[in-house]
């Protein structure tokens, strides 16, 4: 990885068969490996071979940085060598990054607002909370391994007893899930880099639009300050679990203004484009930390900057046309107001670089084609 002004992976493992937009970049070389969702033993073997090849072909030390939960799971199980290091959690820290009940317990201990949560292992564990509708059901683990494969669980929003019964039937106790009240509000994120000297490079954003109003990654987000109270709670959270490296704490602000803990992410996040517009080079700084190098943060950071994904905004409008799929979603966004905002706003755009435009257009095409195929 280069650690200059423009920071890109020089070599990036990619899932074989996946049409990643980065393969069209002038600055990135993609080395395909078996997807861990298909065969994680093969993934391990091929990543080992790739790292050995890279170490022999180039001088210096190499850094592996996970970009999603599956990559975190895979790389955290590789032994480091004299020629490469892992810029991510390992051991108990990696387990914490993937285990939502552990995160909820830590958030509660740090004084954060945590929705009443139960863990369901069997259908009756969910149905006993039917009187508390609306409810949201979501995986208790970010990634689950079984039969030599990794997989992500589904989430459901249930506004009626029939919707709950249907969700339970589809889930059928396949993996543990969290059962929580469905809270209407807007998503917010708190970001930083946890070091031995405390948290550096604080930042925050709020979601302006989600790709899917039912709950998904942001299609547009806006930077905002981090209140001192939140800094104290997040600082306590990070300190008690002895976290090191980049992190994101995802929250939800309800209509009364109360901020609720949702989850903790210990790897790169989807709105990194917004952070980089603020000169917050979290991935590069994480790589420097792994190499035991110093890094520089720019303070104060600009707030009020808005950044969006063109592909996700298009998909957002398509979801609005389809309409709500649950009775819990009574406050459905207006299609025409949203369409006007999408056309009117002059935001920064994900993946847009004048000297590397093919990545942007490929991302739009692959994103839309992927949804069309499903």
Model confidence pLDDT, tens digit, residues 330-363: 788 899 998 988 888 778 999 888 999 999 999 8
Task: Using pLDDT thresholds of 50, 70 and 90, give the confidence band for residue 10.
Answer: very low
Give yes or no for residue 301 having a pLDDT over 70.
no
pLDDT at position 4 is 28
How far, in Å, CA of 248 to CA of 201, rounded?
Answer: 12
Give yes or no for residue 58 having a pLDDT over 80.
no
Task: Using pLDDT thresholds of 50, 70 and 90, give the confidence band for residue 14.
Answer: low
pLDDT at position 47 is 86
Detail the DSSP E strand segments found in 99-197.
118-120, 135-139, 144-146, 149-151, 156-158, 177-181, 185-195
Task: Using pLDDT thresholds of 50, 70 and 90, give the confidence band for residue 32.
Answer: confident
pLDDT at position 215 is 76
User: Does the bond joining 305 to the residue before it have cis omega, within 30 degrees of 0?
Assistant: no
pLDDT at position 343 is 86
Unique residue bearing structure tokens 């994900």: 350
Model confidence pLDDT, tens digit, residues 243-265: 999 999 999 999 999 999 999 99
Range 294-307 average pLDDT? 73
Rg (CA), the chain: 21
pLDDT at position 18 is 67
Instruction: Output the average pLDDT for the chain.
Output: 87
Range 11-20 average pLDDT? 61
CB-CB contact of 172 with 178 (8 Å): no
Range 280-306 average pLDDT? 80
Give yes or no for residue 370 having a pLDDT over 80.
no
What's this model's pTM, rounded to 2 decimal places? 0.88
Q: What three-state secondary structure class fits 90?
A: coil
Residues 6+ apart with CB under 8 A from 116: 180, 181
How far, in Å, CA of 10 to CA of 54, rounded?
Answer: 10
Which residue did the predictor score with more confidence, 326 or 178?
178
Model confidence pLDDT, tens digit, residues 135-167: 999 999 999 988 899 999 999 999 999 999 999
Give yes or no for residue 295 having a pLDDT over 80.
no
Give yes or no for residue 303 having a pLDDT over 70.
yes
Give yes or no for residue 38 having a pLDDT over 60.
yes
Task: Using pLDDT thresholds of 50, 70 and 90, give the confidence band for residue 53.
Answer: confident
How far, in Å, CA of 132 to CA of 159, rounded?
Answer: 10
How far, in Å, CA of 283 to CA of 65, rounded?
Answer: 8
CB-CB contact of 28 with 20 (8 Å): no
Give yes or no for residue 8 having a pLDDT over 50.
no
Structural fold of domain 116-181: Dna Ligase; domain 1 (3.30.1490)
pLDDT at position 128 is 93
Give yes or no for residue 11 having a pLDDT over 60.
no
CB-CB contact of 205 with 217 (8 Å): no
β-pairing, 245-254 vs 218-224, is unpaired
Domain coordinates in residue numbering, the chain = 11-88, 116-181
Which residue did the predictor score with more confidence, 132 or 60?
132
pLDDT at position 9 is 41
Task: Using pLDDT thresholds of 50, 70 and 90, give the confidence band for residue 1.
Answer: very low
Residue 19 region, left (φ>0) first, then alpha (ψ -120 to 50), else beta?
Answer: beta
Task: Using pLDDT thresholds of 50, 70 and 90, give the confidence band for residue 299.
Answer: low
Give yes or no for residue 372 having a pLDDT over 60.
no
């Amino acid at each position: 990885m280069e650690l200059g002004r423009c920071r890109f992976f020089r070599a990036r493992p990619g899932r074989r068969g996946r049409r990643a937009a980065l393969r069209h970049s002038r600055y990135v070389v993609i080395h395909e490996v078996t997807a861990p969702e298909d065969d994680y033993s093969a993934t391990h073997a091929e990543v080992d071979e790739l790292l050995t090849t890279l170490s022999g072909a180039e001088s210096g030390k190499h850094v592996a940085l996970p970009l999603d939960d599956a990559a975190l799971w895979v790389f955290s199980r590789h032994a480091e060598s004299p020629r490469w290091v892992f810029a991510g959690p390992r051991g108990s820290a990696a387990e914490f990054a993937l285990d939502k009940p552990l995160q909820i317990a830590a958030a509660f201990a740090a004084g954060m607002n945590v929705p009443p949560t139960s863990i369901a292992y069997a259908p009756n564990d969910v149905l006993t909370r039917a009187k508390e509708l609306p409810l949201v059901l979501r995986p208790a683990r970010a990634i689950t391994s079984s039969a030599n494969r990794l997989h992500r669980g589904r989430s459901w929003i249930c506004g009626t007893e029939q919707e709950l019964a249907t969700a339970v039937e589809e889930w059928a106790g396949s993996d543990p899930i969290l059962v929580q009240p469905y809270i209407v509000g807007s998503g917010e994120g708190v970001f930083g880099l946890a070091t031995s000297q405390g948290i550096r490079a604080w930042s925050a954003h709020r979601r302006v639009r989600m790709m899917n109003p039912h709950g998904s990654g942001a299609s547009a987000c806006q930077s905002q300050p981090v209140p001192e109270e939140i800094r104290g709670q997040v600082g306590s959270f990070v300190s008690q679990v002895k976290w090191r490296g980049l992190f994101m704490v995802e929250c939800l602000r309800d209509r009364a203004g109360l901020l609720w803990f949702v989850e903790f992410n210990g790897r790169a996040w989807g709105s990194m484009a917004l952070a980089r517009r603020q000169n917050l080079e979290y991935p590069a700084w994480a790589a420097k930390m792994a190499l035991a190098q110093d890094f520089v943060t720019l303070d104060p950071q600009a707030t009020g900057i808005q950044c969006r994904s063109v592909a996700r905004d298009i998909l957002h409008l398509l979801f609005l046309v389809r309409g709500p799929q649950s009775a819990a979603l009574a406050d459905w966004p207006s299609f025409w107001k949203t369409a006007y905002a999408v056309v009117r706003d002059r935001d920064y755009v994900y993946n847009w670089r004048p000297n590397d435009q093919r990545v942007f257009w490929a991302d739009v095409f692959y994103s839309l084609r992927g949804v069309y195929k499903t």
